[in-house]
Amino acid sequence: MSDYQLMVNAYAQAGGTPEVFKESKIAHLVVHKNKVIGSHLVKGLILEPKETESGVDIELKIMKGVKIEYPVHLCFGVLPKEGLQEINIRARVEDAAGVKLLAHCVFPNAVKVVHKMMAEIEIGDSAYYEYNEVHFHGETGGVEVIPKARIKIGKNSRLVTNFSLLKGRVGIFNLDYESEILDNSILEMTAKIYGYGHDQIRIREAGRLLGKASHGLIKSRIAVKDNAQSEIINELSACAPETRGHVDCVEIIQGNAQARAVPIVNVTNELGKVTHEAAIGRVDKKQIQVLMARGLEEEKAIDLIVSGMLR
Amino acid sequence: MDQDKTEILKVEKLSLNLDGRPILKDLSLSVQTAEIHSILGPNASGKSSLAYALIGCCDYFAQRGKIYFMGNDVTHLPVDKRAKMGLTLAWQEPARFEGLTVKDYLSVGIKGKNDDLIKEALEFVLLKPEEYLNREVDKTLSGGERKRIELASVFAMRPKLAILDEPDSGIDILALDHIINLIKELKKKGTTVLLITHREEVSSISDKTSLLCTGTIVKEGDTEEVGTYFKEKCIPCPTRIYPGAENNEAERKSE
């Protein structure tokens, strides 16, 4: 079976829909290790991958005023047990443009795989950028994922990121996203991760609300069990009038797992406001009893509550 | 054990202490099948604690006494085992579940994930399935909507005995008539109802009423008679928070 077919199969296991790779209206890019093994463009989208020694450098640009109708599908992965993949993305969404990206990162056989991603994202004025990233890691836990993003959002724009790692072992995960938001723009960052075994999860998501009336929401939903560990650092700064921000972190622990939440809230303008809430602990006892009172066993009740939170 | 054929729930001398404080004291109760039986009592008389003890909540296992459900001793059974036998509770403060839809929640008590039963349950509480099935059971629902969904969840389960803990609380006056009709409808559909309330006008729909005060049943029988007693004697009575509180009150006065 070809690498392309194996990647598509892993993509399907991660929850992707392989049919999109045959659809002419939908742009896609498939990268295995440092090889581009599939790509398709649509009008208004510039997507230029350049293979490097350890990965791929990607230039992504949405031309001014262009709104890409269907999500752009990206698939990155390493199929062998060992390997390094470094993806560098420079994304530019010009004024009044919009795009939604759906990235699947697949490492189904990883025993010693390192996946690094560095994204520099610039979003113009009145623009829209949504980045959804779903991971599928297999069951060995032998993968190290290091995604990093530096994001600038112009005026009257919106950026949404959704990260989820719910299938397979996390391994070692170290996410670091930083963003700056100008006037009347909105930032929404959400991360949902389920760790077990000896998984280690570290997330730092930071937003600086620099422009007047800019808004930010950073949300984390983490479940850890066995001996897994998580540390979530959510940071929002309100630096201009009428800025509003909220940090919302929930971590559920089971077994010997450990979780830590560090909400950092900075306000440097008296007309700005940032709130935060963080909850760490076992699954709420009342929720468990309520489901058990409908006939569900305790373990199944816990699974249902956790899967709902991570959905 | 010689159980009456029509007795669905029997409680014998149940005592429950929480944090060293007596909550239920030698409480005995008998509920017959196919009836609405009210537990009427003032705030903090032990009504919700009784409900939690009856369904087997983990912190509410009685220190003394027995609970029989359909002739079986369930005193030491956990919540899910009692639920599988047909005993459940509609909570006074329904829980919220992030990410779970109304459909997910109603499915929990139904064998085989029957979509028709779920829709029927929502229609039973006058909520349109097309508007609610995919909504999350979280803070986006109002208190009144959650109450109805809680009742729908009980209805969908088709329990033999449903304990309804203050189904009227947090409900506006217009919705109250509807909730009362739902309770009567539950009975018609074959579910025995143990209705917990502090409002005599709500308990008035019952076939039988037991009056709970300071953790024990102090009067039971004809609903009208117990309701009149509650209005005339209990409402004006100084608050007694738990059994033995009268002694504390006496001590306080003597100081």
Q: For B109-116, what is the mean pLDDT?
A: 83
Positions of E strands within B19-103: 21-32, 36-40, 64-69, 72-73, 87-90
Domain annotation covers residue A307: no
Flag whether A295 is in a domain: no
Give yes or no for residue B66 having a pLDDT over 70.
yes
Computed over every residue of chain B, the mean pLDDT equals 89
Q: How many CB pairs under 8 A join A and B?
A: 60
Residues of B with CB under 8 A from a CB of A: 55, 57-59, 78-80, 83-84, 88-89, 91, 94-95, 97-100, 104, 108-109, 153, 157
State whether A295 and B89 contact (CB < 8 Å). Answer: no
B134, B90 Cβ separation under 8 angstroms? no
Rounded mean pLDDT, A139-168: 95
Digit-coded pLDDT (tens) for B137-149: 998 998 889 999 9
Domain count, chain A: 1
b/e per residue A166-182 (b: at least 16 CB within 10 A): bbbbbbbbbbbbebbbb
Could you give the C-alpha distances from A253 to A141, A144, A229, A261, B87, in angstroms and in order?
A: 19, 22, 9, 12, 30
Displacement of CA A220 from its chain's centroid (Å): 11
A172 has a pLDDT exceeding 70: yes
Taking only the tens place, the pLDDT of each residue in A71-124 is: 999 999 999 999 999 999 999 999 999 999 999 999 999 999 999 999 999 999
Mean pLDDT value of segment A197-219: 97
The domain B7-93+160-254: what is its CATH number? 3.40.50.300
Mean pLDDT of A158-186: 96
CA B240, B246, B252: angle at the middle one, nearest 5?
A: 110
Residues 6+ apart with CB under 8 A from A204: A175, A176, A177, A233, A234, A235
Residue-wise pLDDT tens digits, B67-99: 999 999 999 999 999 999 999 999 999 999 999
**Please, what's the b/e burial string for A203-228 (b: 16 or more CB within 10 A of its CB; e: otherwise)?**
bbbbbbbbbbbbbbbbbbbbbbbeeb
Selected for mutation to probe chain B from A162, A290, A297, A302 (highest B CB count within 10 Å) is A290
Separation between Cα atoms, residue A205 and residue A192, nearest integer Å: 13
**What are the residue ranges of helices labelled H in chain B?**
47-55, 79-85, 102-107, 115-124, 129-132, 143-157, 173-188, 200-203, 223-229, 245-254
Containing H/E element for A6?
Answer: helix A3-13
| Cross-strand pairs, A62 | A45, A93
The single residue listed with the structure tokens 């009504």 is B47
Q: Which of A221, A284, A289, A303 to mutate to test the interface with B (most CBs of B within 10 A)?
A: A289
**Residue-number span of the structural domain to which A163 is assigned:** 3-283
Q: Is the pLDDT of residue B255 over 60?
A: no
- In angstroms, the CA B153 to CA A132 distance is 34
Question: Is the residue at A29 inside a domain?
Answer: yes
> What are the DSSP calls for A251-304, one per residue?
EEE-TT-EEEEEEEEEE-STT-EEEEEEEEESPPHHHHHHHHTTT--HHHHHHH
Pick from A36, A37, A40, A38: nearest CA to A49 = A36
Residues A32 and A108: their CA atoms lie apart, in Å, by 12
pLDDT for res A43: 92
| Chain-chain contact of B97 with A296 (C-beta, under 8 angstroms) | no
Residue A245, in any domain of the structure: yes
Is B104 in Cβ contact with A308 (below 8 Å)? yes
CA angle, B199 then B202 then B204, to 5°: 110
3-class secondary structure, B129: helix
Spell out the domain ranges in chain B.
7-93+160-254
A106: nearest Cα among A175, A180, A15: A15
Q: How many CA atoms, within 13 angstroms, populate the side-chain half-sphere of residue B26?
A: 2
Element (H, E) at A189: strand A186-195
Residues of A in Cβ contact (< 8 Å) with B100: 304-305, 308, 311
pLDDT mean across residues, chain A:
95
pLDDT band of residue B239 (cuts 50, 70, 90) is low
- Residue A297 — very low, low, confident or very high, per pLDDT cuts 50/70/90? very high
φ and ψ at A56, to 5 degrees?
Answer: -145, 135
Q: What is the mean pLDDT of residues B231-246?
A: 64
Cα A292 from Cα B48, distance rounded (Å): 17
Percent above pLDDT 90 for chain A: 91
Nearest CA in chain A to B105: A291
User: Average of pLDDT values for A168-182?
Assistant: 96
> Is B98 close to A308, i.e. CB distance below 8 A?
yes
Question: Average pLDDT of A20-44?
Answer: 94
Rounded Cα gap, residues A274 and A248, in angstroms: 11
pLDDT single digits (tens) A256-266: 999 999 999 99
In this prediction, residues B122-141 reach a mean pLDDT of 94
Residue A212, phi then psi, degrees to nearest 5: -55, 135
Question: Is the pLDDT confidence value at B174 over 80?
Answer: no
Contact between chains at A295 and B99 (C-beta distance less than 8 A): no
Task: Say what the pLDDT of residue A14 is.
Answer: 83
Chain-chain contact of B99 with A286 (C-beta, under 8 angstroms): no
> Which residues share a beta bridge with B36?
B193
| ipTM at complex level | 0.91
Residue B16: what pLDDT? 96
